[in-house]
Amino acid sequence: MKPWNKERAEEIIQAHRNAEGAALPILHGLQAEFGFISEEAVVMIADALNLTRAEMHGIVTFYHDFRRAPPGRHVLKLCRAEACQAMGGDALAARVRERLRLGWSETTDDRSVTLEPVYCLGLCACAPAAMLDGRPVGRLDRERLDALLDGVQP
């Protein structure tokens, strides 16, 4: 991911502004480029699409995948859906939050890890599941979880 750059953001907005339902392609493009959707970007998109800032804010906050702040070097997504909860996901979530000293959608002070809830990774048969930096991890247990965390924390 690249640091926030207004000129690059404008290029992304202009590339998608005439598409049907342009807000989502623009938001996905910005997040792919910068890792998050800045408040400045929300204003730029609203202006380009002739939407209010409130409408854009509503779109950004409705979808769980859009971040409002830069993520850590690693992003750990834990499945919070029923199948994973039934297979011990709540205990694993508590373990992660305790070890990282984080709430959901927060990033460690050293910016090493961002913890995000996800409401289905499609790995129900391999529950509980997580995704680390885009890589799915199924059949997660305490030992595998600790090994994941040991690999992302300095």
Read off the amino acid at residue 55. E
* Strand 135-137 relative to strand 130-132, pairing: antiparallel
Written as one string, the DSSP assignment of 71-123 is --SEEEEEE-SHHHHHTTHHHHHHHHHHHHT--TTEE-TTSSEEEEEES--S-
How remote is the C-alpha of 122 from its chain's centroid?
16
pLDDT of residue 114: 96
Q: Among 133, 130, 134, which Cα is nearest to 95's? A: 130
List the domain boundaries for the chain.
6-62, 74-152
pLDDT in tens, the chain (154 residues): 799 999 999 999 999 999 999 999 999 999 999 999 999 999 999 999 999 999 999 999 998 889 999 999 999 999 999 999 999 999 999 999 999 999 999 999 999 999 999 999 999 999 999 999 999 999 999 999 999 999 997 7
pLDDT of residue 154: 73
How much is the pTM? 0.84
pLDDT of residue 33: 96
pLDDT of residue 5: 94
pLDDT of residue 70: 93
Q: Contact, 92 vs 145, CB < 8 A? A: yes
Spatial distance between the Cα atoms of 39 and 37, rounded to a whole number of angstroms: 7
Q: What is the assigned CATH class of domain 74-152?
A: alpha beta
